[in-house]
Amino acid sequence: MKLCLPTALLLFSLAATAQQEQPPAIQVDVDVVNLLCSVRDKKGALIANLTKDDFEVFEDGKRQQIRYFARETDLPLTIGLLVDVSVSQEGLIEVERRAASQFFSQVLGKKDVAFLISFGAEAELLQDFTNSQKLLRAALDQLRLSASSGGIHPGPVPTMSKPRGTILFDAVYLAAGEKLRGEVGRKVIILLTDGVDQGSRVKLREAMESAQKADAIIYSVYYSDPGFYRGRYGGIGFGMGDGDLRRMSEETGGREMKVDRRRPLEDIFKEIQTEMRSQYAIGYTPANPAKDGSFRRIEIRPRSKDLKVQARKGYYALKPGTT
């Protein structure tokens, strides 16, 4: 299946041979802005006993009236796991495979679905939407190094233009725009990568915009192999992608988390799981009804100064059927 990017044609290999047409995107078409947020205290602990009166919502600096409020633990969850299989991650793939399998087995409920994308020189959908642990494990077993054309185990589709090493931004753009845009409920992208992008046809801003228009939360798991950078580049480049991951996560209401000796990947997946099951749903009708395609800044303020809210920073006020 060929998917179009704004600047060029990106070939995106699909594991599924057929796919049903997705329903229209859920945006502000029904005149309600839907928000999911997590709340933590000064020590970083999740707070799960708040009420509607504990929050205030502002759009472009103007206070909005909250129409509904709920603690969301059972709303269907759609997870897109995007795994970096570029050359710099070669030594980490086996750990990623085991931890991701455990994560899926623990987080997916009966109403939840997940899909798996690997990305390196190319992006490949290894498993489309499914609730099957068996299919997800089989897809994880397919994680393989994806290098530029001519490299070891080149990607499934030859590179058409400039050299591409890690198409991180393209992968986010496609996961949000092509997979999550038409879904309902809670939508999450989990990025497992060192954050370095090389050769994407879309920019960071376009990748974030795609996630925002899909109402998708991005959790970035920064996982880097220092030995790779020391061995090949004398340490140059190590940690370079940290800032981009943090920005994507914070703008969409997620978090960036770093894997290290004290915080293994399995523990980070548990943190994400706990957070996704400890969210509040807030809905309001914007005082500005214009659907002019503009980006509206949102701020959710807790009444207590001891609390910190984690939520997306805004939304696009789109007309029905627009992108």
| Rounded distance between C-alpha atoms, residue 128 and residue 32, angstroms | 29
pLDDT at 318: 86
**213 in a structural domain:** yes
185 falls within a domain:
yes
Provide the number of structural domains found in the chain. 1
Q: State pLDDT tens for residues 129-183.
A: 999 999 999 999 999 998 865 433 333 333 344 556 899 999 999 999 999 998 9
Task: Write out pLDDT tens, residues 121-139.
Answer: 999 999 999 999 999 999 9
Structure tokens at 68: 């509904």
CA angle 129, 130, 133 (to 5 degrees): 140
Give the pair of three-digit tokens for residue 72.
């969301």
Question: Is 95 within the bounds of a domain?
Answer: yes
Instruction: Tell me: pLDDT of 2 over 50.
Output: no
Q: Are strands 295-302 and 55-59 parallel, antiparallel or unpaired?
A: antiparallel
Q: Whose CA is closest to 52, among 38, 71, 28? A: 71
Beta sheet of 55-59, edge-to-edge order: 62-64, 55-59, 295-302, 314-316
42, part of any domain? yes
- Lowest-pLDDT choice from 52-61, 270-279, 297-306: 270-279
Residue of higher predicted confidence among 86 and 242:
86
Report whether 282 contacts 37 (CB < 8 A): yes
Please state the rounded mean pLDDT for residues 282-302.
Answer: 95
180-194 pLDDT tens trace? 998 988 999 999 999
20 found inside a domain: no
Query: 3-class DSSP state for residue 80?
Result: strand
Classify residue 27: in a domain, yes or no.
no
Q: What pLDDT does residue 72 have?
A: 75
pLDDT in tens, 22-75: 333 333 345 899 999 999 999 999 998 999 999 999 999 999 999 999 987 778
Question: Does 47 reside within a domain?
Answer: yes
In this structure, the chain runs to a length of 323
CB atoms within 10 A of CB 292: 10
Q: How many CA atoms lie within 13 A of 79 on its CB side?
A: 30
Nearest-angstrom CA–CA distance, 289 and 292: 9
Q: Is 26 inside a domain boundary? A: no
Model confidence at 255, pLDDT cuts 50, 70, 90, reads very high
What is the rounded CA–CA span in Å between residue 64 and residue 57?
Answer: 6
pTM of the model: 0.84
pLDDT of residue 152: 34
CATH of the domain at 281: 3.40.50.410
Q: What percentage of the chain carries pLDDT values higher than 70?
A: 81
Q: Which domain holds residue 229?
A: 1-15+33-323
Quick one: pLDDT at residue 1?
Answer: 41
